[in-house]
Structure 1
């Protein structure tokens, strides 16, 4: 079940409103914390700079710079375009990534995804039709 809420507790909420989606596999009981938080960069957005935080990120727009979410998942959606270094627990590429990727758990490149850059991973999955150019360092 998905809920959409504006994260009003963030200090950024007063300066730049952003949307946080809370997704749970099952309905939470009252007072129970959410299982998974997901921030989304929408299709029309261009972000230049460094992104850091402690929640998962879905990218449908463009990002240039660096993304550092070490305990979380970064998903580059089908329309997403990223020119950045990405460091996360999990990285899923369904769009286009140009830059170095470091995934402490796994990296998945979907059939319509493309990744141009070196990767450092524990596990990697590249579907038929995906494009990968670079080197792989398995750790």
Structure 2
């Protein structure tokens, strides 16, 4: 799997203990223990990733394993190889066949982005 163009990439051999925050899209394929906060960005948790963290993002796509609570103001996608142990709060949720989820799910109203007005 290839990360989206323009994403920051954390490779599968990287181990992080601490907090990650930012305003760029992130492709995480390593291991993290702590928190991930990307409230205006997309997080992709790759197939090799092992995340033991609370996650607060705009959108998230999970291919790997997550242990912790996940809050997505937009869309959360659990792909076939995904495994999530923790509570989920999201505007929209998509779960593919064979994905694993153990926890509570709360679907909220998606955050509406302000429309761009072109006034002439």
What TM-score do the two structures reach when normalised by structure 2? 0.85
Q: Which residue of 2 aligns with 1:58?
A: 27
Structure of greater relative contact order (alpha carbons < 8 Å, 6+ residues apart): 2
Kindly tell me: are residues 80 and 22 of structure 1, through their superposed partners in 2, closer, same or farther at Cα, counting changes over 3 Å? closer
3-state secondary structure, aligned to 1:111: coil
Q: Which residue of 2 aligns with 1:107?
A: 76
Q: How does 1:15-34 map to 2 (within 5 A)?
A: 23=5
Larger Rg: 1
3-state secondary structure, aligned to 1:65: strand
In 2: Cα distance, 1:105 partner to 1:134 partner = 19
3-state secondary structure, aligned to 2:7: strand
Unaligned segments of structure 2, at least 5 residues: 109-120
Offset, 1:42? 0.6
What TM-score do the two structures reach when normalised by structure 1? 0.74
Which consecutive segments of 4 or more residues in structure 1 shift more than 4 A?
Answer: none
Offset, 1:22? 8.1
RMSD after superposition: 1.6
Is 1:67 paired with 2:40?
no
Match of 1:95 among 64, 86, 95: 64
Is 1:123 paired with 2:101?
no
In 2: Cα distance, 1:66 partner to 1:39 partner = 17
Q: Which residue of 2 aligns with 1:7?
A: none
